[in-house]
Chains A and B, each alone.
Chain A
Amino acid sequence: MSVNGVLVCGEITREGDIDSITLELLSIGRRLAESSGEKLIVALFGDGIGKAAEEVAYYGADMVYKVESPLLEGLNVDIWVEAVDGLYREIQPKILLMGQTATGMDIAPRLAFKLNTPLTTDCTDLNVDAEDGLLLRTKPVYGGNVSGVFKYQEEPQFVTVRTKAFEPVERGSAKCEIIPFNPDIDRSMIKVESIERVKEEVVELDKAEVIVAAGRGIEEPENLEKLQELLDLLKRYFDSGEIGCSRPLVDQGWLSSPHQVGLTGQKVAPQLYIAIGISGASQHVAGISGAKKVVAINKSSEAPIFKIADYGVVGEYEETLPAFKQKLEEIL
């Protein structure tokens, strides 16, 4: 007999810890489980993930599935899809939740095809329709200029959830049961072979407390140095800080992609976000809705960034920035 329920496919960081998206999914998953009277199940995948599985059992789920295999080391997409598919067939969940992460973006569409069910990606809110019990899937469309609510009949009700759209669930004191699951996977399922994994730059934008972000308005890559100086100063007063940017800077090779903030970049939630020479296109703004305070410096008073900023400076940043920095040093 199958378990049904709401199944959260969690993620583990490369260091073997529970990824924040797992706790965010458990938070919305709990709400959905309650409104549909279903169990909440979380699954973790990988090799040697015992520690993370023990830990995740404290975060309000009714069951943990520990899906382990040496083949799940290194996250080969083809293998991973088969593993989730196998678990799906065992549990037959009514609702299936994944993160709209690098991994989720790769797996969810392929899995949706296998399960022959419509997938709604990058949801920012989810509710159960009281009339028919189906999932109401809210997702930003047209770059965030419009919100859409979608509904489909097919099971499982399958969505990916935007990172940072929900607060992570708190650790509790009760621990739920952990069920090991052996997926039926083998090497022959691999269609795309990984040759090499190259680490270029680790940018912890998602955890940064202060972000100084550059847009096309900074005009020359050399000018990034001025932003870095400001960041270095601010980092004395915040626990962590990073340089962020809009997409054109990545396109031009001024910064590597891990610095990009927005719809197809990182979602951030710093205490302070300083946008310099960024127009504020909806696709950029989609990444900063979690920021506590947004400061925008832009020479055009019409720039849409001011519509979402708390504090605005209309002016050339070259002139504003040195004075801002000097004054900070003076009064802090």
Chain B
Amino acid sequence: MSELKIIVCIKKIPDPEAPPKAVSIDSEAKRVTFTGVAPMINPFDENALEAAIRLKEANGGYITVLSLGEKKSKQVLSKAFAVGIDKLILINDANLKDLDSYSRAYVLSKAIERIGKYDIIFTGRQAGDWDSGQTGLLLAEFLQIPSINLVRSVEVEDGELIVKKVKPDGYEVAKTKIPALITASNEIGELRYVSVKQLIEARKEPVDIWNDDDLGLDQQKLRRLGIVDLYKPEIEKECYFVEGESPQEKGENLAILLVEKDSVISA
């Protein structure tokens, strides 16, 4: 079989493990702002990248990475070169900000049409910014190709994709014809290690930048996120810290507390 043409959609997001205090809201602009939070590739998109690289290693292939976002995403996204992708395309246009999942999928689909022939498209199951979990499946609908959600392993055999899909009590083996889209779940595997030196080298690779006009977008199809309000939820409780001279004593006191004072555990 000829080499696989793979497309991976990745997104830059602020570190999803940023502590609550690093996150604030600009209520007027209806925006979330971050202080001292590093940008990174969405973790599930790193899983998607890893799956793509493994397929390339097993079957031979050409990997194009596609991202819609700010110009300054370049640095973060170029990490993908360090793990062995072939091409990086960044779609950037002032007109393409704050789009909802549907419109992001639409823009990505137009870019993919422009790329031309492809066999497999990967996305992450969910992006850790708006936690929407829709873009991949919508993208497949725009392209009118089959899609499989929450995938934990992929193989290619005779022009078909055979995958394991995560289920609440195990998995399902499913198959479909190529071209098809897959959304990666974390079980598919963590992205391989990248050294600082590799990262620095990767930043020198060229990035193609496409804009609105390059894609010939139908402006009617661009829907913005319908944000009415953003606020920080009040979830903090008053934690009672169990006292004790040693960790052992704290353990004993915890038992006494739960049984005798709180009676959450009772005989």
**Are A and B a genuine interacting pair, yes or no?**
yes
Within 8 A of A (CB), among B71-118: 100-102
Given that A113-B138, A192-B176, A201-B169 are contacting pairs, would A312 and B232 also be in contact in the complex, using a CB cutoff of 8 Å?
no
A211 CB to closest chain B CB (Å) equals 13
Q: In the complex the two chains form, what is the Cα distance from A219 to B138 in whole Å? A: 39
A148 in contact (CB, < 8 A): yes
Contact of B172 among A114, A197, A237 (CB under 8 A): A197
B3 in contact (CB, < 8 A): no
Contact: B131 with A122, CB < 8 Å?
yes
Given that A141-B129, A264-B126, A283-B128 are contacting pairs, would A293 and B264 also be in contact in the complex, using a CB cutoff of 8 Å?
yes
A207 CB to closest chain B CB (Å) equals 13
Closest A residue to B161 using CB positions: A192
Q: In the complex the two chains form, what is the Cα distance from A191 to B146 in whole Å? A: 6
Contact of B129 among A142, A289, A308 (CB under 8 A): A142
Sort chain B's interface into a size bin.
35 or more
Contact: A146 with B232, CB < 8 Å?
yes
Contact: A285 with B131, CB < 8 Å?
no
Our count of residue pairs bridging A and B at CB distance below 8 angstroms stands at 267
Contact: B102 with A112, CB < 8 Å?
yes
Within 8 A of B (CB), among A180-233: 191-203
Contact: B138 with A112, CB < 8 Å?
yes
* Contacting residues, chain B, for A281 (C-beta < 8 A): 16-17
Contact: A323 with B248, CB < 8 Å?
yes
* Contacting residues, chain B, for A144 (C-beta < 8 A): 233, 235
Given that A110-B137, A320-B251 are contacting pairs, would A142 and B187 also be in contact in the complex, using a CB cutoff of 8 Å?
no
Per DSSP, chain A at the interface is: mixed
| Residue of A109, A256, A293 with highest tally of chain B CB at under 10 A | A109
Contact: A193 with B265, CB < 8 Å?
no
Q: In the complex the two chains form, what is the Cα distance from A145 to B128 in whole Å? A: 11
B36 in contact (CB, < 8 A): no
* Contacting residues, chain A, for B18 (C-beta < 8 A): 145
A316 in contact (CB, < 8 A): yes
* Contacting residues, chain A, for B246 (C-beta < 8 A): 319
Closest B residue to A136 using CB positions: B228
Closest A residue to B260 using CB positions: A331
Contact of A257 among B166, B172, B240 (CB under 8 A): B166
B155 in contact (CB, < 8 A): no
Closest A residue to B250 using CB positions: A313
Contact: B169 with A237, CB < 8 Å?
no
Contact of A113 among B141, B152, B230, B242 (CB under 8 A): B141
Contact of A250 among B125, B187, B248 (CB under 8 A): B187
Q: Mark A277-296, 1 if CB is under 8 A from B, else 0.
A: 00001110100010011111
Contact: A328 with B259, CB < 8 Å?
yes
Contact: A106 with B125, CB < 8 Å?
no
Q: In the complex the two chains form, what is the Cα distance from A102 to B236 in whole Å? A: 29
**A interface residue numbers (CB < 8 A to B):** 77-78, 102, 105-106, 108-110, 112-114, 118-119, 121-122, 136, 139-152, 191-203, 234, 237-238, 247, 250-251, 256-258, 263-264, 271-272, 281-283, 285, 289, 292-296, 301, 304, 306-316, 319-328, 330-332
The 3 residue pairs across chains A and B that have the minimum distance between CB atoms: A323-B251, A319-B247, A327-B255
Since A192-B174, A285-B235, A307-B235 are in contact, a sample of 12 more A-B pairs with Cβ atoms closer than 8 Å, ordered by chain A residue number, is A110-B137, A142-B16, A142-B23, A146-B230, A191-B146, A198-B173, A281-B16, A313-B250, A313-B251, A315-B247, A320-B251, A331-B255
Q: Give me 13 A-to-B residue pairs in the complex whose CB atoms sit less than 8 angstroms apart, sorted by A's number.
A: A112-B102, A113-B102, A113-B141, A142-B130, A143-B128, A146-B232, A152-B226, A197-B167, A201-B170, A237-B265, A257-B152, A264-B185, A319-B251
